[in-house]
Amino acid sequence: MFIDREKEIARLQQALQHEDARLIVVYGRRRCGKTTLLRQVLPKNAVYFAADLREPPLQIAALAKQIDKLIPGFSKPVYPDWESILNNLNLALRERITLCIDEFPYLVKNSPALPSIIQKIVDEKGRFNHHLILCGSSQQMMYGLALDSASPLYGRCDEMLRIRPMEILQMKEYLQIKAEEAVKEFGVWGGVPRYWEIRRQSKNFEEAVRSQVLDQYGILHEEPERLFSDEMRTSITKSTILS
């Protein structure tokens, strides 16, 4: 069930319909629906790649296989680095496509030079021959990649969307509950769509809290630690306060 995000969808669609290739950054805290949103707007001739923490050669090969679905034979060569695969993609294209790289910070973690490579391609060739969407959940890193004046991508993004948590009215609609119940539940789940999905799997509010939050095996039991790990260099002080 997909609700709201009309403004975000409109901006992304407008950017992807532009004649010139666009460099788009989408970021926001984990579980706010960034991937689901992107899947709503990506055209058929799009390459969606979800990065992970594997070594760069494996990531490059995995991306080549995804591109191969759109450009047969693209994955046959062995690409030694990110610059070679991105340059070859530009050369192989006969029409404008969209390349979406999700969890971009994972790639940067193992390949710190990647933002500089993207900058080089953008600057030297004027523009990509494809729209490029960089998406990530680490707000600190994504913000630094695009808005830090020392970043290679500073000033080069055509669109930058911060996907924020949703509002209580959207949660009320999603869970099909009364207004008073929505206030109580919003105090626990907030505006995070993934939490709403987990809540919906339980019969009622109390059961969801017991089984998913308080139980040591619940999906959300260690969520605070995961969020600290995403957004902070060290979470010792924050974890101590929360404890």
Over residues 91-125, the pLDDT tens digits come to: 898 888 999 999 998 999 899 999 999 998 888 75
128 shares its domain with 144: yes
Q: Structure tokens of 22?
A: 């666009």
How many angstroms separate the CA atoms of 190 and 92, rounded? 45
Strands 159-162 and 46-50, by their bridges, are unpaired
Residue ranges in the chain whose pLDDT is less than 70: 1, 125-127, 139, 230-235
pLDDT per position as a tens digit, 164-177:
999 999 999 999 99
Residue type, 147: L
Amino acid identity at 67: I
- Answer with the one of 127, 162, 197 that is the final residue of a domain: 162
Q: Amino acid identity of 195?
A: Y
pLDDT for the residue 127: 58
pLDDT in the model for residue 237? 76
Q: What DSSP string describes 186-210?
A: HHHHTT-HHHHHHHHTSSSHHHHII
Please compute, for residue 149, the number of CA atoms within 13 A of its CA located in the half-sphere on the CB side. 0
Which residues span the domain enclosing 190? 168-242
pLDDT at 70: 93
Tokens of 91: 């050369």
Note whether 133 and 190 are same-domain residues.
no
Residues 146, 179 share a domain: no
Residues 54 and 107 in one domain: yes
Any idea which residue has 């969606």 for tokens?
A: 48
Dihedral sign computed on CA atoms, order 227, 31, 105, 4: negative
Predicted local distance difference test score (pLDDT) of residue 125: 59
Q: What is the pLDDT of residue 154?
A: 84
Task: Give domain status of residue 1, yes or no.
Answer: no
Domain annotation covers residue 80: yes
Q: How far apart are CA 102 and CA 2, in angstroms?
A: 19
Amino acid found at 85? I
